[in-house]
Amino acid sequence: MSNNVYQQLVDEFMARVKVKNPGEAEFHQAVQEVVESLIPYVEENPQYKHAKILERMTEPERVILFRVPWMDDKGEIQINKGYRIEMSSAIGPYKGGLRFHPTVNMGILKFLAYEQVLKNSLTTLPMGGGKGGSDFDPKGKSDNEVMRFCQSFMTELQRHIGPDTDVPAGDIGVGGREIGFMFGQYKRLRNEFTGVLTGKGLEWGGSLIRPEATGYGNVYFAQEMLKTRGLDFAGKTVAISGSGNVAQYATEKVTMLGGKVVTLSDSNGTIYDPQGINAEKLAWILWLKNVKRGRIKEYVDKWGGEYFHEQRPWNVKCDVALPCATQNEVNKQDALTLVKNGCYCVSEGANMPSTPEAVEVFIAAKILYGPGKAANAGGVATSGLEMSQNSMRLNWTRERVDQELHTIMINIHKTCQKYGTEPDGFINYVKGANIGGFVKVADSMLAQGLV
């Protein structure tokens, strides 16, 4: 079949998705990227086509939308929306994070849940895909307000989740504090102490290395990509965006491997430190973001360097870029600038941080480009390891969990290589991750009949 015929099938598929899911731009974007890789594969493997696997995977198994009323410190009533998208349970209980951010809407959560299905499959662990959250903004709220919100949110969510049904975790705006409040409320309402959430504190069922896992895993994935060209992190200049959980631990691991991280950012701007963000500076950033809950621009007052207001890090010259903030934070112009400045490796800690036009630039330039669903799968993989430890009522050592994480990231890289290597030897990680994640889910769906 020619490329034109494939393109026509993609266009027809996307026209149907857009009619069925109007106004959900991020969801359309995520589906388009996946079906562009998968339609040729499905045409060559007609068992998937006849069973309409792609069409079924694009429709969530269940969508839950609910009211979250809570009272602020002034005694005023506030109302937010709560969501849980249960996308696929083909290979295990629904699994995926909760995001608390004012931009949260149905389209964003459906894109995240859709990506999560393939990502979870890539980890090789038995986890289906889901995502949820709220348009609640934890920024500027007191701990008591965050607690009241989390309790109200969980009062409804608890009836839909459970350790064998749906196991949420953190994401943007949901860290250890929020998971703690939600776990406490779940336990109180259900009268059971189970592994219903991951990202828990160490004293109450959490796993060592879970906080580090997404950032470390992303760097392990980048390390594997670099190896295919005989390279490593030693002496390399690395630009990272974001300054939250994923960015913090990506910075730590790059530094441990001898690289120099020169940027971090938040939604207000970017800091640039040409000397590199060493362990001492990073420890201060963890305090700034996780304890003081301050802004990244405060870094330059303390440690020097430059602050670029309302700019992203991508104008800074680097060898490796790790986008670790949010979706669509690398556009075509950013991608062109990165490539022009000599960047040869982009590994996504965030979900869908590169726009489709940016991805085209990376693939056309044949640089090492690791899409989020492969490169940031270490977080959910380690959540899977937390679930295993909860089931066994055991705690593994730091070394053991880190070793398991590292092995999983190496294996995800191998899967991408298997399905994504092109005739000239170039590894198209987008194609590799999409097909590699798809096969297990699709075969399970075939085996389980029309459900």
Q: Which residues bind ligand NDP (CB under 6 A)?
A: 170-173, 175, 214, 242-247, 266-268, 324-326, 349-351, 376, 379
Angle between helices 245-256 and 210-227 (to 10 degrees): 50
| Residue 247 and residue 349 in contact, taking contact as beta carbons nearer than 8 Å | yes
| Residue 158 and residue 230 in contact, taking contact as beta carbons nearer than 8 Å | no
Q: How far is CA 371 from the centre of its chain?
A: 10
Distance of alpha carbon 347 from alpha carbon 376, whole angstroms: 8
Whole-number minimum distance, CB 306 to ligand NDP, in Å? 18
Residue 45 or 328 having the CB closest to ligand NDP: 328
Instruction: End-to-end CA distance of the chain: give it in Å, rounded.
Output: 31
Residue closest to ligand NDP when measured from CB atoms: 244
Residue 135 or 232 having the CB closest to ligand NDP: 135
Residue 155 or 243 having the CB closest to ligand NDP: 243
SS3 content of the chain, % helix, strand, coil (to 5): 50, 15, 35
Tokens of 238: 């690395």
Whole-number minimum distance, CB 28 to ligand NDP, in Å? 18
Adjacent-strand bridge partners of 303: none
Residue 172 or 219 having the CB closest to ligand NDP: 172
Distance of alpha carbon 51 from alpha carbon 60, whole angstroms: 16
What is the per-residue DSSP string for 62-78?
EEEEEEEEEE-TTS-EE
Sign (positive/negative) of CA torsion 182, 246, 163, 62? positive
Whole-number minimum distance, CB 404 to ligand NDP, in Å? 16
Whole-number minimum distance, CB 295 to ligand NDP, in Å? 7
Residue 243 or 444 having the CB closest to ligand NDP: 243
Burial (CB < 10 A; 0-12, 13-18, 19+), residue 248, is buried
Whole-number minimum distance, CB 251 to ligand NDP, in Å? 11
Whole-number minimum distance, CB 14 to ligand NDP, in Å? 23
Residue 60 or 242 having the CB closest to ligand NDP: 242
Distance of alpha carbon 32 from alpha carbon 362, whole angstroms: 17
Q: Which residue has the tokens 């009211």?
A: 67
Neighbours of 126 (CB within 10 A): 16
Residue 40 or 379 having the CB closest to ligand NDP: 379
Distance of alpha carbon 318 from alpha carbon 143, whole angstroms: 38
| Residue 113 and residue 133 in contact, taking contact as beta carbons nearer than 8 Å | no
Whole-number minimum distance, CB 211 to ligand NDP, in Å? 8
Whole-number minimum distance, CB 177 to ligand NDP, in Å? 11
What is the per-residue DSSP string for 419-442?
HHB-TTS-B-HHHHHHHHHHHHHH
Q: What are the two backbone dihedrals, phi and then psi, of residue 321, each rounded to the nearest 5 degrees?
A: -120, 135
Residue 155 or 223 having the CB closest to ligand NDP: 223
Query: Catalytic residue positions?
Result: 131
Distance of alpha carbon 78 from alpha carbon 67, whole angstroms: 10
| Residue 96 and residue 61 in contact, taking contact as beta carbons nearer than 8 Å | no
